[in-house]
Amino acid sequence: MAVVSIAALASKYLFFTQSIPAIPSLKASPVSSTLIRYTTITATMSAKPLNPQSHPSLEVSGGALDSFLPAFTTLDRPYDSYPVVGSNTHLETIFAYFFRSNPDVRFRRECLRAKDNGSISLDWVVGDDRNLSPNSPTLILLPGLTGGSGDSYIRHMLMRARKKGWRVVVFNSRGCGFGPVTTPQFYSASFLGDITEVVAHVSSRFPEANLYAAGWSLGANILVNYMAKESVNCPLSGGVSLCNPFNLVMADEDFQKGFNIVYNKSLSSSLRKIFNTHALLFEEIEGEYNIQAAANCRSVREFDDSITRVSFGFKSVHDYYSKSGSAQSIKDVRKPLLCIQAENDPIAPARGIPREDIKENSNCMLIVTPQGGHLGWIGGDEAPFGAPWTDPIVMDFLEYLERTKSMSVPNAKSEENTHSVQATVK
């Protein structure tokens, strides 16, 4: 019983699931600012190897490999999982939940009312409006199923980005992170209405900032589906997908086997709690909903069959899983996307990774580590209690994209100023 209860507590998180000092404004002309920025970027990039290589312990591929590989400062090192802990996928996954530190972050919650009157909870870091400029790069974090801003993997990534001067906001899906539910609808692996409204809202608040997103597990699946749907018109300047289940049919198959059954039962318990808190909203709803089954579900599949697939118009739970995985949509992504997976992930099976589509997409790059479990990745300089091995990799990628964007913006502004001067002279 004790073993089951430990794993059960952990799997709430498992399935998919210092303030920054203000920078003094530089009083310089637009031309000198542009030259300083360009010179700094050029020096940084020229200091890197001309032919960067990844370490053989990592599987690194993708159509954008040659473009993105220079971004990374540590991929030439071997992936060394922490001794003992990294020897077993379940041990690593559970250890990360129980023993990884959880940074203290003060949030200010904003409840965004969706077009269907649903409520989305956005958690902003207290003080960022004072300490960061309106054009600071902005990062949206998407937790896994039932996850939220309280999860350690979210907070570690948030803290790393803030130390680099980024603004960060956590997107808690309906009912997650103790957020309210105001309509008889939660969220799904393929429902893109909420992320579309969140991205539009954040973009409207900070129109001068470049916008990025990172998602874990179910949040990663939603993010990739969103980027694919928006294609060339995607407002994001880039995205990162971690522990993405990709193929939900395969993920569901593995979820019914071995030790994964423990995760399944525990996660269904978390879903029950969220549902039963808001069950009155579903009391008189019509359709194929099975309220009783949802209130007493013993598996994720049972909950999805009773509520999720009905809410979003799927004929069956298999229909929902087969049409909602991002493996089939990633080929349509047209903005920079980094995917990071663990070969031994018990919940996001490696055989579901769309390797060929990633190789053929000139906007995508894939990194697969030999170990890592699900949301574990206990390795790197901060192991075993600090940030996951993936965090510096994610930050390298995002900062590379931001440097690239910042190089192009001044040139565009210079051209605009030149045209306006010529017009004035005439």
The Cα 313–Cα 289 span in angstroms is 11
Q: For residue 281, what are the contacts with CB-CB under 8 A and spacing of at least 6?
A: 181, 182, 183, 184
3-class secondary structure, 418? helix
Nearest alpha carbon to residue 267 among 90, 92, 91, 13: 13
Catalytic site residue from 345, 357, 391, 396: 345
Q: What is the largest CA-CA distance in the chain?
A: 84
The Cα 207–Cα 209 span in angstroms is 6
The Cα 371–Cα 278 span in angstroms is 38
For residue 274, count other CB atoms closer than 10 A to its CB: 19
Q: In the annotation, is 374 catalytic? A: yes
In this structure, the chain runs to a length of 426
Catalytic site residue from 173, 217, 266, 311: 217
Question: Sheet of 107-113: strands edge to edge?
Answer: 59-61, 364-369, 337-342, 238-242, 211-216, 138-142, 167-172, 119-125, 107-113
Catalytic site residue from 241, 304, 329, 374: 374
Q: For residue 35, what are the contacts with CB-CB under 8 A and spacing of at least 6?
A: none
**246 Rama sector, left if φ>0, alpha if ψ -120 to 50, beta otherwise:** left
| 170-197: b (≥16 Cβ within 10 Å) or e | bbbbbbbbebebbebbbbbbbbbbbbbb
End-to-end CA distance of the chain, in Å? 84
Q: In the annotation, is 217 catalytic? A: yes
The Cα 367–Cα 369 span in angstroms is 7
* Catalytically annotated residues: 217, 345, 374
